[in-house]
A and B are shown apart, each in its own frame.
Chain A
């Protein structure tokens, strides 16, 4: 299919029914998230065995979504060269469920870090006792 990509595009073939190839680099292979997406789609209400074309389409959409978000975050983040969490939080500020989820994830990370630190300290104590 000649429409399957611009010059120099990735090697992935055009999927049936998919009309949104993203302009990622050549390194991107097909089905990056395929297995995980199948489970996820089932969890959110799809059939236990989702149609492969649907999975591929969802993956394309998600990659495009992430790409657009990251580009916007880069624009916001004053082109620091790295992306900071603040930029993302600003981007999704209007979307309350996502914002809550992100703050929850971040606080959970902190807790886990603390917990791991505490565990390491305990281990050292145990080791020194032995």
Chain B
């Protein structure tokens, strides 16, 4: 295939090279030239989320629209740093035009209708959601320091990054729920996060240490 890599990977490369200072980076967003998505469409369509069906069901109801279709694209980008960085701008446009769903035309149509009706704000948030990822290199360093062994395979790093991102998602969404319960607004504060962490622990989503952590 004449396109050396998946558009999502390219989009990740682009993001990695020039991370905007704030999550709202208008320069980043506007820089995309219009580009033909068709070339990249089939390749990444297949690579994109096969089991997206399940993921849409598991969406946390507290934050439906921006985070609705958890997709593999952010993760694809996260895992293929080895590819070259061509066609980044084209792929950024593709990434958002690409409505990730399984091959199921119903799902695709639904995704398309949802995404086409996003406001500007929702679109940037969705873009951040899709494209954010924890750095593989940093994660690998962390894993090495935890295990003490240098042999951490690539799949392990990628999977751990994915799991950690989903955990962050649970944390933030629960924190938002806590905020709405308390009728507060604005940015999330550490007290909300602590409360959300406490709730996640009660739900059993956080692994418990068999030995209690001694020195805090």
Assuming the contacts A37-B168, A45-B67, A54-B193, asked whether A112 and B138 have C-beta atoms less than 8 A apart, the reply is no
Chain B residues whose CB sits within 8 angstroms of the CB of A103 once the complex forms: 51
B window 18-58: CB within 8 A of A: 19, 22-24, 43, 46-47, 49-51, 54-55, 58
Whether A112 lies near B165 (C-beta < 8 A) is no
Cβ distance B150 to chain A, nearest Cβ, rounded Å: 9
Q: Are B207 and A91 in contact (CB under 8 A)?
A: yes
CA distance A84 to B143 in the complex (A): 13
DSSP class of A's interface residues: helix, strand, loop or mixed? helix
The minimal Cβ–Cβ distance linking A110 to chain B, given in whole angstroms, is 10
Q: Is the CB of B187 within 8 A of A46?
A: yes
Partner of B168, one of A27, A40, A47, A118: A40
CB distance from B123 to the nearest CB of A (A): 12
| Nearest B-chain residue to A111, judged by Cβ | B47
Q: Cβ of B10 < 8 Å from any Cβ of A?
A: no
B180-207 with Cβ < 8 A to chain A = 186-194, 197, 204-207
Q: How far is the CB of B54 from chain A (nearest CB, A)?
A: 5
Say yes or no: B63 contacts A45, CB within 8 Å.
yes
- Shortest beta-carbon distance from A47 to chain B in Å: 4
Give chain B's interface secondary structure class.
Answer: helix
Give 1 or 0 for each of A71-98: 1 = CB within 8 Å of chain B CB.
1101000000111110010011011111
A66 to B167, CA, bound (A): 10
Which of chain B's residues have a CB closer than 8 A to the CB of A119? 1, 4
Q: Given A61-B171, A70-B146: A41 and B72 within 8 A (CB)?
A: no
The 6 closest A-B pairs by CB, nearest first: A43-B129, A6-B215, A47-B187, A42-B23, A43-B128, A44-B172
Chain B residues near A (Cβ < 8 Å): 1, 4-6, 9, 19, 22-24, 43, 46-47, 49-51, 54-55, 58, 62-63, 66-67, 70, 72, 75-76, 79-80, 83, 125-135, 138-139, 141-143, 145-147, 149, 151-156, 158-160, 162-169, 171-173, 175-176, 186-194, 197, 204-209, 213-216
